[in-house]
């Protein structure tokens, strides 16, 4: 990806949101080959922004690439990490995606399932904007924390 192909501006305020910061940590943690060495934060997060033009360029039917699967994993790892911080309980993401890009994501806390998401078309994984990604993750985290509060006994098992 060329620098001029980026749709995410270097000064986008959504990059400073707590979820975006956690996504950067998770993406860098999964980068075992130092691909992101020297990249700006906007360039690292940019592939998560799936504009209509980018979506049109991806076939409707396709197998998810290992890079796309890593982004999906980083997204749910970031959600789990931000569930752990206020709750003090370990949140574990479980991701199963078929080679066709369909599957399910669960995040468990103790024996409590706090996130249950069916995923499809994973080869087109992304969000309309970085702000939309932050908003969707924020909703998932808030719902998970509410479940933990309601079912504390199960979450502590």
The domain that holds 126 is classified in CATH as 1.10.3100.20
In degrees rounded to 5, what are phi and psi of residue 36?
Answer: -85, 0
Query: For residue range 125-149, what is the model confidence (pLDDT) as tens digits?
Result: 999 999 999 999 999 999 999 999 9
The parent domain of residue 55 ranges over: 13-155
Domain count of the chain?
1
Torsion of CA 146, 147, 152, 157, to 10 degrees: -140
Residue 59 has pLDDT above 90, yes or no: no
Q: Which helix (H) or strand (E) holds 112?
A: strand 112-119
pTM value is 0.92
For residue 6, tell me if it sits in a domain.
Answer: no
Assigned domain for 3 exists? no
13 Cβ contact partners less than 8 Å away, ≥ 6 residues apart:
none
């Amino acid at each position: 990806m060329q620098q001029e192909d980026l749709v995410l501006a270097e000064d986008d305020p959504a990059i400073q949101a707590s979820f975006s910061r956690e996504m950067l940590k998770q993406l860098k943690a999964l980068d075992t080959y130092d691909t992101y060495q020297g990249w700006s934060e906007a360039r690292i997060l940019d592939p998560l922004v799936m504009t209509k033009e980018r979506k049109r360029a991806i076939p409707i039917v396709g197998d998810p690439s290992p890079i796309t699967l890593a982004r999906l994993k980083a997204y749910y790892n970031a959600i789990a990490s931000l569930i752990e911080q206020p709750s003090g309980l370990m949140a574990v993401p479980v991701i199963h995606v078929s080679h066709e890009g369909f599957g399910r994501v669960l995040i468990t806390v103790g024996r409590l399932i706090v996130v249950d998401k069916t995923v499809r078309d994973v080869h087109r994984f992304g969000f309309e904007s970085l702000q939309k990604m932050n908003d969707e993750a924020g909703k998932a985290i808030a719902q998970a924390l509410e479940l933990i509060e309601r079912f504390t006994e199960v979450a502590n098992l």
